[in-house]
Structure 1
Amino acid sequence: MPDQNSTSNEKPQNKKPRIGCLGVGWIGRHRMERVIDSGAAEVVAVCDPNKEAIDEALEAAPNAEVAGSLDWMLGMDLDAVMIATPSAMHAEQAIRALNADKAVFCQKPLARNAEETHRVVSAAKEVDRLLGVDFSYRHTEAMQQIAPLIESGELGDIYAVDLVFHNAYGPDKDWFYDVERAGGGCLIDLGIHLVDLAMWALDWPEVTGVQGCCMADGKPLDPQSPQVEDYATACVNLGDSVVDLSCSWRLSAGRDCVIEAAFYGTEGGAKLRNVDGSFYDFVAERYDGTSTEVLCEPPDAWGGRAASAWAEQLAEDGSYDPTIEKAVEVAKVVDRIYGR
């Protein structure tokens, strides 16, 4: 007898979800490959205007159909769509996929601002479909080591958090420098990762204050400027914690990048930091006065874990997960840093 409690979003046992990948440039292809490697889902369609990107995607998913458009893809027998397109397209594409009864995994940012983000989340809730966003730094082994120290109270009361993300190069695509297509510059590209990381690690305390400053070419930017920022700094009050953030493109930091998230409490501290300017290699350290304990070191293949975790959840139950509503709270903080 069929299970009377089952829903249309639950997959039959042993049947993998069928996924279409919209946008298979480097980041989209990498997330696609990690989902394939997880064994949780089957990639059956790919779509991208760049033929070279399609050819490389088909090397990983040789049986996938090449779809000519999102509409083409939504007409296929799919359970979900993974989106890795320019930021301005995220909200509209995600809502269209959700309204076509497809679950969605989207590159960050989920949308260009809090209002758009809320619309996407509301669409997922209305149709009862799983929605995920690629806040990947939560899934580093370094943060998986640090987060329990914060949650358990071993570091005491966290009163200060220092967040840094400097990229010495900046993006190589024109749309990143168009505020209408990107939603902003280095803050929404890089800083949003660390805003999410701090709010998640501290278990989503109330936001009691936000101050921010955005700059371009060494000069302050007006919030209404059509130019995107290449440097941003902010002070965010999360409950009793003071969070300081700085992020940039093309800053002269003496290395390819600087990525750090340090949490200081009344009983000790802990930090995630990148190694030798790497974008991918991280250590976690625990501090007690002047002593340092290394909690984990590279290697750590963390980059696609958010996508594979979403695919595994999709395979179990593709219905709406209300934890995605926290993405709206992150977007609200980013909006306030921008002065919107």
Structure 2
Amino acid sequence: MALKIGVLGYRFMGKAHSNAFARLPMFFDDAPDIERHTLVGRDEEALADAADRLGFAHTETEWEDTMNEVDVFYNLGPNHLHPEPSIAALEADTPVFCEKPLAPTVEDAERMAAAAGESDAIAGCAFNYRFVPAIQYAKNLIDAGDLGTIRHVRGHYLQDWGTDPDDPWSWRMDADLAGSGALGDLGAHTVDLARFLVGEQAGDIERVSGHTETFIEERPVENGDETRPVTVDDAYSAQAAFEGDAMGTFEASRMASGHKNDHTIAVHGSEGSLKFSLERLNELEVLRGDSRGYETVLVTDESDPYVEHWWPPGHVLGWEHTFVHEDYEFLSAVAAGEHYEPSFETATGVQRVLDAIEQSDERGEWVTVE
């Protein structure tokens, strides 16, 4: 019996996951059978067009009407729509996969995690960069002790789509709708990768010192003469202390001219270092022992994570493949009734770090992550 999939949202992430759904049976022989059943949105005409393009058999304009029609619910809507539909699905014991950041606020995230804990259904959060083969390769190196004692984790996520002050206002610029700006949208990925990569070796992030900044405080309304205030950050930076002796340095910006999607994370240990850049996502830079420089490892061999499902060695993968890997893992967990990571509880841990960074900026002091 195929799993009937319901999806809230048909734009950026809706397209990414719909593409992944279509690829799964082509490349992952053991993936569960799925049916793209119901697409949810507000605009009936645009929704019908999207359902046709993305391969969904049905549409709904009210998410409340979807829970009893599907076996799995994907919540890919704006941040302020993450809590209530996800909680409703979990209360109906329908597995949920939710976009990141998990919620606009830590309080909402905690409500979602509590609902997941009380439900018989699986709940996962969409940190797709965990599923880049090179990141999985890096995780294996760190867990095997190849880097020794972890000393420093550095991560940045730089984009430049917000540099023009004449670009229109969007929901991503409103604190009530988005929760935060670059911090939640981009920083969530960096914090999750840091915790994922070194958490077993260095412990969790214990305290932070943060700084946020809004450079353009008003934006024009699209197709209008008005402006609206920007109530979220355009950029952030943070220092972090892990439970062990490791330290972290994180930053993100929507105003970094010349950077389109530059997500870079580096880990330095007593016996070696590694560095990953999303803009070169098939490569991992690795430094071992007394080597004088980094070795560039092309992570495309059949023995590398996920690669056996795709092309011959050297035939590189792309950003869209991370969603195929992510959906394969989540839907396989649903079909088997097994735990999935990153879970809502794990994503709430990320949210607590983001919240502490905001608190630190407001208070001008180091803040302990509760």
Report the TM range for the smaller structure's normalisation. Answer: 0.7 to 0.9
CA-CA distance at 1:285 after TM superposition: 1.1
**Residues 94 and 54 of structure 1: CA distance in aligned 2, closer, same or farther (over 3 Å):** same
CA-CA distance at 1:173 after TM superposition: 6.7
Tell me whether 1:235 sits opposite 2:229 in the alignment.
no
Cα distance in 2, alignment partners of residues 243 and 54 from structure 1: 46
Aligned partner of 1:134 in structure 2 is: 126
Aligned partner of 2:264 in structure 1 is: 260
TM-superposition CA deviations, 1:144-183 (whole Å, max 9, x none): 1111111111011110011010011149771000001000
CA-CA distance at 1:271 after TM superposition: 0.8
The runs of at least 4 aligned residues of structure 1 exceeding 6 Å deviation read: 318-322
Q: CA contact under 8 A between 1:129 and 1:320: conserved in structure 2?
A: no
Q: How does 1:1-340 map to 2 (within 5 A)?
A: 15-39=1-25, 40=32, 41-50=34-43, 51-52=45-46, 54-62=48-56, 64-76=57-69, 78-170=70-162, 174-203=170-199, 205-217=203-215, 227-238=231-242, 239-252=244-257, 254-275=258-279, 281-288=281-288, 289-296=291-298, 298-300=316-318, 301-317=321-337, 323-339=343-359
Deviates further, 198-207 or 186-195? 198-207
TM-superposition CA deviations, 1:221-274 (whole Å, max 9, x none): xxxx9721111000111122111001000222x342321000001111001113
Amino acid at match of 2:293: S
Cα distance in 1, alignment partners of residues 261 and 239 from structure 2: 21
**Residues 259 and 237 of structure 1: CA distance in aligned 2, closer, same or farther (over 3 Å):** same
Unpaired stretches in structure 2, ≥5 consecutive residues: 26-31, 218-228, 300-315, 361-370
Deviates further, 142-151 or 202-211? 202-211
Cα distance in 2, alignment partners of residues 148 and 250 from structure 1: 34
Amino acid at match of 1:174: S
Q: CA contact under 8 A between 2:124 and 2:343: conserved in structure 1?
A: no
**What percent of counterpart residues are identical?**
27
Cα distance in 2, alignment partners of residues 255 and 198 from structure 1: 21
User: What RMSD in Å do the two structures reach over aligned CA positions?
Assistant: 2.4
Amino acid at match of 1:60: L
CA-CA distance at 1:45 after TM superposition: 0.6
Amino acid at match of 1:58: D
Q: How many residues align?
A: 314
Amino acid at match of 2:254: W
CA-CA distance at 1:55 after TM superposition: 1.7
**Residues 282 and 181 of structure 1: CA distance in aligned 2, closer, same or farther (over 3 Å):** farther
Cα distance in 2, alignment partners of residues 36 and 218 from structure 1: 40
Cα distance in 2, alignment partners of residues 323 and 174 from structure 1: 28
Cα distance in 2, alignment partners of residues 42 and 134 from structure 1: 20
**Residues 294 and 308 of structure 1: CA distance in aligned 2, closer, same or farther (over 3 Å):** same
Cα distance in 2, alignment partners of residues 90 and 284 from structure 1: 33
TM-superposition CA deviations, 1:247-306 (whole Å, max 9, x none): 000222x34232100000111100111337xxxx45211023432222225434223422
Cα distance in 1, alignment partners of residues 340 and 113 from structure 2: 9
Cα distance in 2, alignment partners of residues 150 and 226 from structure 1: 40
Deviates further, 135-144 or 25-34? 25-34
**Residues 275 and 68 of structure 1: CA distance in aligned 2, closer, same or farther (over 3 Å):** closer
Amino acid at match of 1:52: A
| TM-score between the two structures when normalised by the length of structure 2 | 0.79
CA-CA distance at 1:186 after TM superposition: 0.4
Cα distance in 2, alignment partners of residues 74 and 211 from structure 1: 41
Deviates further, 266-275 or 176-185? 266-275
Cα distance in 2, alignment partners of residues 185 and 245 from structure 1: 15
Cα distance in 2, alignment partners of residues 85 and 16 from structure 1: 24
Q: CA contact under 8 A between 1:25 and 1:53: conserved in structure 2?
A: no
